Amino acid sequence: MALNNPNPLGPWKITVYDQENFQGKRLEFTSACQNIMEGGVDNIRSLKVECGAWAGYEHSSFCGQQFVLERGEYPHWESWSGSNAYHIERMMSFRPICSAVSLCSNPLNHKESKMVLFEKENFMGRQWEINDDYPSLQAMGWGNNEIGSMQVQSGAWVCYQFPGYRGYQYILECDHHGGEYKHYREWGSHAQSFQVQSLRRIQQ
Amino acid sequence: MALNNPNPLGPWKITVYDQENFQGKRLEFTSACQNIMEGGVDNIRSLKVECGAWAGYEHSSFCGQQFVLERGEYPHWESWSGSNAYHIERMMSFRPICSAVSLCSNPLNHKESKMVLFEKENFMGRQWEINDDYPSLQAMGWGNNEIGSMQVQSGAWVCYQFPGYRGYQYILECDHHGGEYKHYREWGSHAQSFQVQSLRRIQQ
């Protein structure tokens, strides 16, 4: 089979709908949207990512729960929310994840993903440098179900509360906060604990 | 940090509780459980995987919705269910995934994971051999949001309805059905369509 990616490096493109199953009012975006209500719709209820990797947010101005959105079709809220402790079915803003590693095979565009996990907050305690996906950190030898702090050296990553890429999503990028996330309060306004049990690179 | 896995190859171990947050009656298992009611509890409401990778099922006798369970802590139903189209909060049976690839670095124990995706059912149409994780099949060049059939040549895999490892989970193993899954009806009794947008290896 020909595995030619028609849009290896963008431009980013996302199409959102104000009803489930790609119905209702339809809006196309190729860059960040800070408040979907400015497009004349009250909420996003389905979407298609046509190019690039995106971060979606529960509230306007990129606040609240975070959702990593990779290329494909999302017919309803549950299809992008994953499993979350609270089910407020809202997505009001979104933006491209510019530091996500390209899947393009052009070596000039290739960047490695690399980050360091720390046992304690403020980059203290034992540390572990990673550059791959981990569906279970504990299976790989990490001692418990928490990470104290993280330093993203390259690429973009998504961490999850539960094993197997489930629960709250925290998007971490080398070009935000200087790649430094020294306490769970910096992972996102919805983060309520240090609990992280799986994580993976974001590719596009 | 020392990344020594204390139980690189098992034995499998899972601890289940009949209340959320690891409360209530507690049962330990090192092999398959066909019906949790035989242990004197009406349902599983939290669990810890202490060793190995497991498949959990909505109904007794390994039927209904499937949930891949890797090492870590799952305090409530949403933590293992992922996002699903119907929320019946039940897990009644579970079993080890014996063909999951070992994370152990002993080369004698190392098996590659390999499977072939087919565009159409019955192993027809265009095909694509894979041996890695794919959070978005479309980003990697797969033409649409469906897979017609799959042949698992080695290891165990989990496929998902939506991108980013979300939605219904379908566990596919080289040592079940001879590794052949020629129609979505063979992916599991809960499968309702050919829709698969992400997939990954199961490691333990």
Give the pLDDT confidence of A89-102 residue by residue, as tens digits. Answer: 899 999 999 988 87
Question: Would you kindly state where each structural domain of chain B is located, as residue ranges?
Answer: 13-96, 114-201
Q: How many residues does chain B have?
A: 204
Shortest Cα distance, chain A CAs vs residue B133, angstroms: 9
Interface of A with B in 1-20 (CB under 8 A): 1-5
Q: What is the pLDDT of residue B28?
A: 97
**Backbone phi, psi, residue B104, to 5°:** -60, 140
Same CATH topology for A13-96 and A114-201?
Answer: yes
Do B70 and A127 make contact, defined as CB atoms within 8 angstroms?
no
Peptide bond into B135 cis (omega under 30): no
- Residue numbers in A near B198 (CB within 8 A): 70, 72
Look at B70 and A139 and tell me if their CB atoms are within 8 Å: yes
Across the A:B interface, residue pairs with CB atoms under 8 Å apart total: 150
Contacts of A123 in chain B (CB under 8 A): none
pTM for the model stands at 0.90
Mean pLDDT for chain A? 89
Right CATH for B114-201 from 3.90.1150.10, 3.40.50.720, 2.60.20.10, 1.20.140.10: 2.60.20.10
pLDDT of the residue at A110: 44
The ipTM value here is 0.89
User: Measuring CA to CA, which residue among B66, B23, B32, B34 is closest to residue B52?
Assistant: B32
Q: What is the pLDDT, as a whole number, of residue A108? A: 45
pLDDT in tens, A68-125: 999 999 999 989 987 665 667 899 999 999 988 877 544 444 458 999 999 999 999 9
CATH superfamily of A13-96: Crystallins (2.60.20.10)
Supply the DSSP string of B16-84, one letter for each residue: EEEEGGGEEEEEEESS-BS-GGGGT-S---EEEEEES-EEEEEETTTEEEEEEE-SEEE-SHHHHH-S-
**How many angstroms away from the CA of A8 is the closest CA of chain B?**
8
User: What pLDDT sits at residue B47?
Assistant: 98
Question: Do the Cβ atoms of A79 and B167 come within 8 Å?
Answer: yes
For B92-130, how does the pLDDT look when each residue is reduced to its tens digit (9 = 90+)?
A: 999 999 988 877 544 444 458 999 999 999 999 999 999
Q: What is the mean pLDDT of residues B2-23?
A: 75
- B202: chain A residues, CB-CB within 8 Å: 135
Specify the pLDDT at position A88.
Answer: 76
For an interface test with B, give the residue of A70, A89, A144, A200 to mutate (most B CBs within 10 A). Answer: A70
**What pLDDT score was predicted for residue A190?**
84
Report the range of poorest mean pLDDT among A150-164, B31-45, B109-123, B189-203: B109-123
